[in-house]
């Protein structure tokens, strides 16, 4: 776990917001309900909710994926993202024990 990269990823308001949304995708992305959330949330849904360009949202998600905060699943032409709860547990442990 690269502490510096994780804290960089968490240092942006929109990235924090995306992580909060992904914590409860059923509540935050109701328009995806009919397709389910087994693979996560479609990047298009995240982009629409964030109100940012697709390239900006993709850059944010790529950074969070590199740090392990989210995982990505490709289904056809679509990419779905979900929180990596194991990474958050490790981060919590790190903060409690080392910081």
pTM of the model: 0.90
pLDDT digits (tens, 9 = 90+) for 29-72: 999 988 899 999 999 999 999 999 999 999 999 999 999 999 99
Residue 80 contacts residue 40 (beta carbons within 8 Å)? yes
Q: Give, in order, the Cα–Cα distances in Å from 98 to each of 7, 93, 95.
A: 14, 8, 6
């Amino acid at each position: 776990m690269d502490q510096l990269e994780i804290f960089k990823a968490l240092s942006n308001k929109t990235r924090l917001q995306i992580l909060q949304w992904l914590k409860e995708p059923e509540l935050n992305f109701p328009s995806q309900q009919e397709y389910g959330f087994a693979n996560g949330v479609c990047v298009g849904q995240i982009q629409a909710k964030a109100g940012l360009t697709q390239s900006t949202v993709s850059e944010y998600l790529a950074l969070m994926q590199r740090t392990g905060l989210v995982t990505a699943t490709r289904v056809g032409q679509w990419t779905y993202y979900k929180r990596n709860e194991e990474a958050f547990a490790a981060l919590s442990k790190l903060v409690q024990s080392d910081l």
